[in-house]
A and B are shown apart, each in its own frame.
Chain A
Amino acid sequence: MISEEQVRHVANLARLGLTDEEVKRMGEQLGAILESIEKIQELDLADVPPTANPLSLTNVFRPDELRGELTREEALAPAPEPVDGLFAVPRID
């Protein structure tokens, strides 16, 4: 069980609105999932290196060449509320 306060804190980190009912249900469900996941903590892996990517790729570069890209009009086409050829947002608070 995760407390309502914790749920609201995490939801705020994720910029995710939740109704009061969702907060309550989320606390129970996340609690149950986390309890089950905690099983991995019984393994002693102190000296084991982490794997972030199964192919262990590092620093993949492509040539720094100008190629055909989207026009401004194209890039803005899917935007919900573009203004004067720019992406627009409400007041930054």
Chain B
Amino acid sequence: MRELLDLAAHELAEKLESREVSTREAAEAANARVDEVEAEINAFVTTTPELALLRAEIIDERLRDDGIRPWEGVPLVVKDVLSTRGVRTTCGSKILEDFEPLYDASALLNFGEDLVMVGKSNMDEFAMGSSTENSAYGPTRNPWDLGRVPGGSSGGSAAAVAAGEGWWALGTDTGGSVRQPAALCGIVGLKPTYGRVSRHGLIAFGSSLDQIGPMTRDVRDAALLLQAIAGHDLHDSTSANVEVPDYLANLDDGVSDLRVGVVTELTDERIDAGVREVTSRIAHGLEEAGAEVGEVNLPHAYYALEAYYIIAPAEVSSNLARFDGVRYGLRVGADGVHEMYRRTREAGFGAEAKRRIMLGTYALSSGYYDAYYAQAQKVRTKLVEDFRAAFSRYDVLLSPTSPSVAFELGAKTGDPLAMYLQDICAVPASLAGIPAISIPGGLSEGLPVGVQLMGDVFTEPTLLRAARAVEEVADFRFELKP
């Protein structure tokens, strides 16, 4: 059964379809791998081995009787910020330690009633962080080097895929939380266009930024998982009523008709030399594969991180107001209601959640609103204009995903600003709402480096096709770690 772990998700799906392997056998293989490595990795807050077997048998029955959609039998890792019916969903926070959602997130609905799930993956509390060290359930370790972080906030999902504790995973990306951990763990991570995937049942962090995305071994798996989660949803008023194309149809068509712009502002000296080197090797590779490659400017990318660290905390301060000890989650008792709110939130939230709530509340408070929040929203407009100009000349844009390879546990926990810098390459696409994907581009210091491709809104088919070409020219092969 161990050999099943060496398959990509789409390969496993084919073996399920041809009945060479049963869904139950796949679930058993994932469970066994979790038993083997989870003590070292801590990729999960909650594992669901029995539920996975139970549901796998139901899927096998349906497979025999009516057939299934290609993604349904491949056990999935689900980030613990996505609501799962009857399975506790903590968001990496103490405040939701015992919370059991009443329904599944809409993004999971194409898996049917019986989602075969390995478990709920670890994350920075409420998806705020770039290392998964801000979890109330202990840090996740990078399967490539157990002394290093897996990135974040979807670090549990990234580590689970890299370690083979499941074939693929869902993460969420607000300012890089799918892409950066994918880069640091040597896997593929896609943030779709804002609105492409319903956010209903995704416990909100930054509502104008959040997107659910695939984290997978290869680009074909990312396309298949996107096919499963994309679509319009009446439960999310920001979900886009745009037709879902076939994401697999043109994957292998190459890049000879594509123009690739390398973003000057995201390849400067703020990026480690080893990471820049891999990025430029990929640019040359794409050129040799027939793409037209040039340089492009996004002048306001220099201000994107600052704008992001106003907008995201502002939205957080509003979204996390719902955790008040009344309708769900922790309550710490007190005589009056205000003291109950204060004590509950003091006990339930960790340091980074508190910092962001404070930062957002400050930026929105009377007297500071125009200087911070309003100005940041204008920067966002300028950045959207920068991207529009770039996409009039190029089909996709190339940059590194993260300024460095995986760093050591504890290296940045005392310095929030140093941690925030991890997001410099990721936040421009988030603010503009455009799709972006991280693909392993090679190694630096023996650790994986991710390169990022960005595309115009709803051009995921082109983006995935270009990503597939990066995979071809990259000096990298997926293999299980450790």
Chain B binding site: helix, strand, loop or mixed by DSSP? helix
Interface residue tally for chain B (C-beta within 8 Å): 69
- 1/0 per position for A34-72, CB-CB distance to B under 8 A? 101111110101001111111101001010000000100
Q: How far apart are the CA atoms of A51 and B328 in the complex, in Å?
A: 33
- B237 and A45 contact, CB distance less than 8 A: no
Q: Which residue of A lies closest to B304 (CB)?
A: A40
Taken residue by residue from 219 to 245, chain B's Cβ proximity to chain A (1 for < 8 Å, 0 otherwise) reads as 000000000000000100110100000
- Are B329 and A78 in touch, CB under 8 angstroms? yes
The answer to the question of A5 belonging to the interface, with a C-beta cut-off of 8 Å to chain B, is: no
**Docked complex Cα distance between A86 and B290 (Å):** 65
Residues of B within 8 A of A75 (CB): 102
Assess the B346–A17 pair: CB atoms within 8 A: yes
Closest-by-CB residue of A relative to B375 is: A40
B361 and A13 within 8 A (CB): yes
- Complex interface: chain B residues within 8 A of A38 (CB): 306
A-B contacts counted at CB < 8 A amount to: 172
- Which of B29-37, B250-258, B334-342 participates in binding chain A? B334-342
Give a binary string over A7-51; 1 marks a CB under 8 Å from any B CB, 0 the rest. Answer: 100110111111100100010011011101111110101001111
Q: Pick from A29, A40, A77, A80: contact of B306, CB below 8 A.
A: A40
Knowing A10-B358, A10-B365, say if A54 contacts B431 (CB, 8 Å): yes
Interface digits, B349-364 against A, CB 8 Å rule (1 contact, 0 not)? 1000011011101100
B100: CB under 8 A from chain A? yes
A35 to chain B, nearest CB (A): 9
**Residues of B close to A43: CB separation below 8 A:** 303, 375, 378-379, 382
Contact status A15-B365, CB under 8 Å: no
Nearest residue in B to A89 (C-beta to C-beta)? B337
Interface centre among B321, B324, B378, B379 (most CB of A within 10 A): B378
A30 to B354, CA, bound (A): 11
Which partner residue on chain A sits nearest B355 by CB separation? A29
**A84 interfacial contact with B, CB 8 Å:** no
Q: Of all chain A residues, which has the CB nearest B331? A: A80
Does the CB pair B417–A32 fall under 8 Å?
yes
- Interface size in chain A (residues, C-beta < 8 A): 52
B324 pairs with A80, CB closer than 8 A: no
Using known A-B contacts A55-B240, A55-B433, A89-B326, determine if residue A62 contacts B377 with beta carbons closer than 8 Å. Answer: no
B365 touches A13 (CB 8 A): yes
Q: Do A87 and B327 have beta carbons less than 8 Å apart?
A: yes
**Interchain Cβ contacts under 8 Å between A and B, 19 examples:** A2-B362, A13-B361, A15-B342, A16-B354, A17-B345, A22-B354, A33-B417, A39-B306, A40-B303, A41-B375, A54-B194, A70-B102, A78-B99, A79-B326, A80-B325, A89-B337, A89-B340, A92-B337, A93-B339
B residues contacting A by CB (< 8 A) are 99-102, 194-195, 208, 234, 237-238, 240, 303, 306-307, 309-310, 317, 321, 324-331, 333-343, 345-347, 349, 354-355, 357-359, 361-362, 365, 371-372, 374-382, 384, 416-417, 420, 431-434, 457
- Give A contacts to B, CB under 8 Å: 2, 6-7, 10-11, 13-19, 22, 26, 29-30, 32-34, 36-41, 43, 45, 48-55, 57, 60, 62, 70, 74-75, 77-81, 87, 89-93
